Chain A
Amino acid sequence: MATLYEGYTLCGVGPVQNSSNIGILGVEQGGDIDHVLVTDTSRSITVYKVKGVTSYAINTFLKQGQIISCPAVFNTQSQEYVVVTDDRVVRVWKEDDVNLEKAFKATVSADVLKVLSATDSEPVVLFCCGAVRFLDSLLASPQQPMEDVLTEDEIIRWSTIVKAEHQLVILFSTEQRGEHCLYVQRFNPNTLVKHRFETEPGLSAPISFSATCRGSNIHLLYLYLNGSVYESVLPFRSSSTGAEGVQALSRSLCLSLPLGEEKLMSGAAVVLDEAHVAVVGFPHPSAGACKDYLCIWNTHFQTLQASKEMAGRIYSQLWCYSGKLYVPHGKMLSVIPFDCQKSSLAAAMGKQKQTSQSESKSCRFVTSWTSQSCTDVTQTTEIKSRMSTRNVSDLSIIPTSAVEDVQAEVGEFIRRTPQADLQLAAGRVALELVSRSQTDANFYPQCAFLLLLETRYLCYSVCPELLSLAMVKKDFHLCQIAFQIFSDIPEAVTCACLKTILSTPDLEMETVNLDMDSVIFMKELTQAHSRSDEEGGQLNGFCHPALESDVSDTPSNKLQRDPFALDMSCPVGLHKGALLNEVLQTAYSDRSLLPHLKDLTVPQVIVFLQYLRFLYLKYSHDAHKQIRALRTPSISQIIDWVCLLLDAHFTVLAVAPEAKRLVFDLHKFVRSQVKLYAELGKIEGSLQVLKSSKQSEDFGMYAIQVIELF
């Protein structure tokens, strides 16, 4: 999972001229990993040291009347800063030169678009005409003529430099009469390849680009205003050396962002790692109309991983340097540290990876998600176009009609829509239904939700409000199904649900209609208890070590009750138990779950712990093995939850009188386990001795040895 941490404001953003989507000229990597170079649209260039939550700055100002043409960059090779002012004046200065007037400057023969610099390599100067020069060679003869690479009315919209394996590649996109092209400039040998972006009717130019180098390919990610994020893969080394003609740029859709009702004007995306993309300017899927969100999306699973609201106007600008996002919004530039855990299946699925049963199930959904998103791009685009028309016609009744009509319509919609289209459509319908339910207290189409869930195309990220809505409506059946199907429920929501389940009285719970399989499992489990009691003890001569060892230290207590033989009645009702089992089987990560677990009240914790202990005891009596159920919590899941609960509430439990017995029992259990392991350790030791003694056995036909008897 990705996390967005608390950010802070780095600096203000100067007054915005016109309606452009540019807040500041640029943020560039400084000389050090935690230094950034911010170039303001006004006349200042500032070096910030961004470390933790503090920052310091060195400002460099330009003289009145001078205009900075492009963001300043740092030349790591010469430890100098480079900036271009007034389109043609290249200025180079060192850190201690505060006055730019005294710095080295050279006037070149053509308008400079941008100076591009990558770490440990020579900066490259990109001219507006498309010509490219290394800074060194340019400064050696500033007045050298520049060739025109681009046609007269072709304007460079965006440019970047990518470096890998000591090889530099310059990418820039151009616009010419509504046609958008991408140029790839490679060096040594110098080649320039032109690609044409695919255009669709009604689709304007990409508004944001982000290029990264992975392996031997450049991955270019670009965002359109309609929320589509495409990825194109370009080979690092050109196969066709300076091939003539314009090549179409093959692309694949890797994310489609939800759109709000308002028309979007700006937005930006930046690649964080192989699986994560940060997007600013697009609405949060569940936050309604407000669009000013910074979100981290997982492109593999198309799930929302983290989000943060951004106040003020959003620009089409977003930078990412060494674990921090730089977002200009409103009148400020914010620094937001983030953390993306390596996006493996294990991380995405949380704890579920360990469990055997649920794993296979949840994985199945995941594969369908990835295969959908990765394989057939053209198909997806078709679907989108088809769907957009159909959506309007079919489900326009949602905001107004009665519950029954809506449910019937949704059923019909699911039946009619082809499977491939459903994946995208189901989420959209669910979103609409949820938003109406939230506003209209009398509207709650449970059947429609269940139908949508049954398509198995919903996940938490697609429709985050669904689960909390179900909790508010106390629709535990829906909750159960959602728990079974969603593999990406955030820990906070899991905890909120857990709290609701625990606080609902058993009586109310028993009337709820639940998945039969889980209820049967609970029934069998509680019956297995009485059955084994009738048999008069445990099978297989099972004898807990605690029974023997505790005789000496607490004889009186021992006589009264034995924690492992008695108290085998289920502390919660069957239905509550079944729901708790679903919670136990959800995916989570310890670190994220722990703070939310603290929200539970002490009585809730005690009941839950008692239930977990009950489950554990049942499991240690092998009762569950006789029960055939599809989904059962595994013993490691139970133990993990016990540990987490104790971690979260230990101090409270230690002083709460009503928890004393429970904690005491658990302590005893742990002690017996420790003893068992100590004994096992001893056995291991003696086995090692046996092994070594066996090895020393071989002495040939005759030896004189010394033995000692005690």
Chain B
Amino acid sequence: MGEFKVHRVRFFDYMPSGIRALAFNGDTERMAVARMDGSVEIFHCSDRFFQEKIIPGREQCGIEGLSWVGERLFSAGLNGGITEYDLTNQKVKYTIDAYKIPWYTFLILCFYHLNLDRQKSRIVSLSWHTSGSKIAAGMMDMIQIFNVETGHSIHRMLADRGVGTSRSKECVVWSVVYLSDGTIVSGDSVGMVKLWDDQTGTLIKSHNVTKCDVLALSVSQNEDSLVAGTSEGTVVQFQFVSMVLGKDDKEWVRTRTFKNHTHDIRAVAEITTAVVSGGMDAQLVVKPLLDKIEVRSAASALRKIHFPHRRLVFCARNSGLMLFQYPGHLELWRLGESEGKGIPGSSLFVKRNPEKLLHLKVKGEDHIRCSAVSPCGEWIVYSTASSLRLYRLHCDNNNVSITKISKLPKVLSSANQLCFSSDSSHLFSASTQSSVHIVSLSQSGCKFVGTLKPKSGSHQAIHLLAASEDGEWLASANSDHEVHIYNLQTRKAHCTVPVYSSAVTAMGIHPTTNCLFMMYADQQMCEYSIEQKQYTDWSRTVQRKGLHRLWMERDTPCLNVMFNPQNPSHVILHDTYMLCIIDQSLPLPDDKTQFYNQLTLKSLTEDQRKSHSHAFKVCKTFKDILCVELISDQSLVVVERPLEDVATQLPAPIKQKKFAT
């Protein structure tokens, strides 16, 4: 099959940001995740937790709480501001500085203009009763219930401080949940989950969950299950069950404990079949509740989401340059060079080390939404929510300089996705209402050429763009799962790929056949002939025969589709844990075939290999892959971000005494 020279890159210091808040919308099956850097992400829970939308954060923008109101998403920040998000265009809609009091957490259900009794103590957490007439507030050493109409305190419930030395420390009620039956659940810094009666203001039951803090609480939609996240990284589940079988006399009983985090859990949420948790270790953990799952499937496996489902690394194929996208800056690197040849599995002598050419800081407070480098390596473009900047790069041997292109056409004020044509002569910028602006690039500057608009009239933002090698075609994919193909000669919509239930995670246009190869979040793949406006025969065969079980069970989406110009039947794909070359000329594996067969094939002779080979050639040499790209000299660039490296850069977790350490 073949040898590849691989540039293994581990110097992209990408650090995922800690998770601060979670909000689950049961109607749309969407999970909103707010991170420490102010970004908000939308995951589709029933589409393998694909990260559909990313709203980049801003400097100094701390989000403390997230809440869905219908299909509208709101967040409350540390500075007292309340923000609503425009999920269609994936940006902030507006921010109102509602109160100039610092709210530490705000759980918004609807807006009331409240005049509560003046509080001496800080309010740390809040929860509304479903009736909307009462609100529970967690404070220092106590919980208060307010009548919303009068603004007066109904009950004051004192939380106990810890024993011993912690006696002198205030007990912070980090989280409260007001259940519809009038029970108030609180989680505090002493490590207790306490249940209170709002009628009498008395403690019903108290559970000691941890020695550290209980930071987050969340109740399931039908209020029969409650999860608490602690600063030790454990999630504790409580269930509302009857103590005697068949009797209606129910109690909250501690049932399960999960430990999937190394650091503080700052947010928990219970979705239909799983508990989702996130915290300082920046991973989103989906722990399925096996009692709610009937069949074993990809949905019943523990899922840990470490990296965004978007590309953060771009390669200039023809010039060996790499662009790393950090939230607040871009880095441009030149790949190293090797000398001599080596046997498979060996490392080559590095003649020239990789070199950082450029460190480009973002102007303004907004974080980068998207960026791109042209295949020739001459152009760099990035966009934030508010501005788009295009730079031209001059490389004379060791001298690197950039010039900012000043007079940009007005349509290039902001972009959801950016892409260069393969000859680097045009820039495609995805804009509002699923439209794509075309700008031509030349020595003198750039010129607006036209706008491509879909026939469907979808308003969703485009998250993927793919241009064909010959400059004829452009494909765009948006969050409505629509894939539009445009003819760049006529600048008209050519056709629309039939809409599939799962989101497109990666796509590419084949350089010789002009077929669009698409990967979906549910691990399906399709090949669509642009010229014939139909799925190819190979694609139909794949659909008919089905993909191998092990392929379908992978839990990270494919993030790039590449083609090998020297072998047109090869499609190169990658996800976080593997690199795969699909040889379309070989038979597809069925469920009885050994899927990961590289080790077996290695041990066989050339002749025997033929009978054992199948289309999927999976290489598991690499892990924690952020990007794989095939550059023009037939070598692969694999950018890895080992999780151990991420872990070493995280703040120290709560110290726990362990034996023999």
The finding on whether chains A and B are genuine partners in a shared complex, rather than unrelated, reads yes
Interface-lining segment among A79-87, A266-274, A698-706: A698-706
**What are 30 A-B pairs at a CB distance below 8 A?**
A686-B599, A693-B621, A700-B10, A701-B11, A702-B7, A702-B336, A702-B350, A702-B353, A702-B354, A703-B7, A703-B348, A703-B350, A704-B8, A704-B350, A704-B635, A705-B6, A705-B345, A706-B5, A706-B6, A707-B3, A707-B619, A708-B2, A708-B4, A708-B345, A709-B2, A709-B4, A709-B617, A709-B619, A710-B601, A710-B617
Q: Which residues of A contact B345 (CB under 8 A)?
A: 705-708
Chain B CB within 8 A of A451 CB: no
B10→A702 contact, CB < 8 A: yes
| Residue in chain A with minimal CB distance to B4 | A707
Partner of B10, one of A701, A706, A708, A710: A701
Contact B336 A704 (CB under 8 A): yes
* Cα(A706)–Cα(B619), bound, Å: 12
Kindly state the separation between the CA atoms of A101 and B581 in the bound complex, as whole angstroms: 103
The chain A residue sitting closest to B337, CB to CB, is: A704
Q: What's the minimum C-beta distance from A343 to chain B, rounded to whole angstroms?
A: 41
Given A700-B10, A702-B336, A704-B6, residue A709 in contact with residue B354 (CB < 8 A): no
Residues of chain B lying within 8 A (CB to CB) of residue A686: 599
B605 to chain A, nearest CB (A): 11
Give the complex CA separation of A705 and B341 in angstroms: 10
Q: Mark A245-267, 1 if CB is under 8 A from B, else 0.
A: 00000000000000000000000
- Check if B601 sits within 8 Å of A706, measured CB to CB: no
Q: Are B344 and A708 in contact (CB under 8 A)?
A: yes
Contact A704 B4 (CB under 8 A): no
Residues of B contacting A397 with CB < 8 Å? none
A243 within 8 A of B: no
Pick from A693, A699, A702, A705 the residue with the most CB of B within 10 Å. Answer: A705
Partner pick for B342 among A689, A706, A709, CB 8 A cutoff:
A706
Report A's interface with B, CB cutoff 8 A: 686, 689, 693, 699-710
Determine the residue in chain B with the shortest Cβ distance to A702: B354
With contact pairs A686-B599, A709-B2, A709-B581 given, residues A704 and B7 touching in the complex (Cβ less than 8 Å) = yes
Chain B residue at minimum C-beta to C-beta distance from A689: B599
Measured between beta carbons, the chain A residues less than 8 angstroms from B107 are: none
In the bound complex, CA of A518 to CA of B431 (Å): 84
CB-CB under 8 A from A706, the residues of chain B are 3-6, 341-346, 348
Interface of B (DSSP majority class): mixed
What is the minimal beta-carbon distance from B522 to any residue of chain A, in angstroms?
Answer: 25
Smallest distance from the beta carbon of A708 to chain B beta carbons, Å?
3
Nearest Cβ distance between residue B291 and chain A, in whole angstroms? 22
Residues B5 and A704 in contact, CB atoms below 8 Å apart? yes
Q: Find residues 584-636 in chain B having any chain A CB closer than 8 Å to their own CB.
A: 598-599, 601-602, 609, 613, 617, 619, 621, 635
How far, in angstroms, from A447 to B347 measured CA to CA in the complex? Answer: 83
Question: At the interface, yes or no: B512 with Cβ under 8 Å from chain A?
Answer: no
Task: Report how far A220 CA is from B344 CA in the complex, Å.
Answer: 74
Q: Are B347 and A705 in contact (CB under 8 A)?
A: yes
Contact (Cβ within 8 A) A707 B609: no
Q: Shortest beta-carbon distance, A608 to chain B, in Å?
A: 43
Chain A nearest CB, measured from B12 CB (Å): 10
Q: Determine whether the beta carbon of A704 is less than 8 Å from that of B347.
A: yes
The answer for the CA separation of A686 and B599 in the assembled complex, in Å, is: 9
- Contact assessment for A702 and B9 in the assembled complex, using a CB-CB cutoff below 8 Å: yes
Least CB distance, B583 to chain A, in whole angstroms: 9
Q: Which 7 pairs from chain A and chain B are nearest by CB?
A: A708-B344, A710-B601, A704-B338, A701-B11, A704-B348, A709-B617, A709-B1
Q: Within the assembled complex, what's the spacing in Å between the Cα atoms of A360 and B1? A: 63
User: What's the Cα separation between A706 and B5 when bound, in Å?
Assistant: 5
> Is B8 touching A710 in the complex (CB atoms < 8 A)?
no
Residues of B at under 8 Å CB distance from A?
1-11, 336, 338, 341-348, 350, 353-354, 581, 598-599, 601-602, 609, 613, 617, 619, 621, 635
Q: CA separation between A701 and B335, bound complex, in Å? A: 12
A706 to B350 alpha-carbon distance, docked (Å): 12
- Excluding A702-B350, A704-B347, A705-B348, 12 further A-B contacts by CB distance (< 8 Å) are A689-B599, A699-B347, A700-B10, A701-B10, A705-B6, A705-B342, A707-B6, A707-B345, A708-B1, A708-B3, A709-B1, A709-B598
Q: Is the CB of A710 within 8 A of B338?
A: no
Residues on A with beta carbons closer than 8 Å to the beta carbon of B342: 705-706
Contacts of B9 in A (CB 8 A): 701-702
Nearest Cβ in chain A — how far from B616, in angstroms? Answer: 11
Contacts of A703 in B (CB 8 A): 7-8, 347-348, 350
CB distance from A548 to the nearest CB of B (A): 13
Measured CB to CB, the closest approach of chain B to A303, in angstroms, equals 47
Contacts of B635 in A (CB 8 A): 704
Residues of chain A within 8 A (CB-CB) of B5 are 704-706
Please indicate the chain B residues that have their CB under 8 angstroms from the CB of A710 in the complex.
1, 598, 601-602, 609, 613, 617
Measured between alpha carbons, how far is A124 from B566 in the docked complex, in Å? Answer: 99
Q: How far does the Cβ of B308 sit from chain A's closest Cβ, in whole Å?
A: 22
Bound CA–CA A75/B298 (angstroms): 89
CA distance A699 to B2 in the complex (A): 23
Distance (whole angstroms) from the CB of A88 to the closest CB of chain B: 79
Q: State the CA gap A703–B350 with chains docked (Å).
A: 7
Query: B350 to chain A: which residues have CB within 8 Å?
Result: 702-704
Contact of A707 among B344, B599, B613 (CB under 8 A): B344
On chain B, the residues within 8 Å of A701 by CB distance are 9-11
Give chain B residues whose Cβ lies under 8 Å from the Cβ of A689: 599
Contact at A702–B8, with CB atoms within 8 Å? yes
Partner of A699, one of B8, B343, B598: B8
With the chains together, A702 CA to B341 CA distance in Å? 17
Q: How far is the CA of A706 from the CA of B602 in the complex (A)?
A: 15
User: Separation in Å of the A553 CB from the closest CB of chain B?
Assistant: 21
Closest residue to A699 on the B side, CB-wise? B347
Task: List residues of chain A with CB within 8 A of the CB of B4.
Answer: 706-709
Which chain B residue lies CB-closest to A710?
B601
Instruction: Answer whether A705 and B598 are a contact pair too, CB < 8 Å, given A699-B347, A710-B609, A710-B613.
Output: no
Given the complex, which residues of A lie within 8 Å of B599, measured CB to CB? 686, 689
Complex Cα distance A710/B598, Å?
6
Q: Which residues of B contact A700 (CB under 8 A)?
A: 10
B335 to chain A, nearest CB (A): 9
Closest A residue to B339 using CB positions: A704
A686, A701, A703, A707, most chain B CB atoms within 10 A: A707
Q: Which among A693, A702, A705, A709 is the interface contact of B346 at CB below 8 angstroms?
A: A705
Shortest CB distance A707–B (Å):
5
Q: Is the CB of B1 within 8 A of A705?
A: no
In the bound complex, residues from chain B placing their C-beta under 8 Å from that of A705 are 5-6, 8, 342, 345-348
Contacts of B621 in A (CB 8 A): 693, 707
Q: Least Cβ distance of B646 to chain A in Å?
A: 14
**How far is B338's CA from A705's CA once the two chains are assembled, in angstroms?**
9
With most chain B CB atoms within 10 A of its CB, the pick from A700, A701, A703, A704 is A704
Inter-chain CA distance A693–B622, complex, in Å, is: 11
A residues less than 8 Å from B10 (CB atoms): 700-702
A693 — nearest CB in chain B belongs to which residue? B621
Taking CB atoms, residues of chain B closer than 8 Å to A708 are 1-4, 344-345, 602
Which of A689, A700, A702, A706 is most buried by chain B, counting CB atoms within 10 A of its CB? Answer: A706
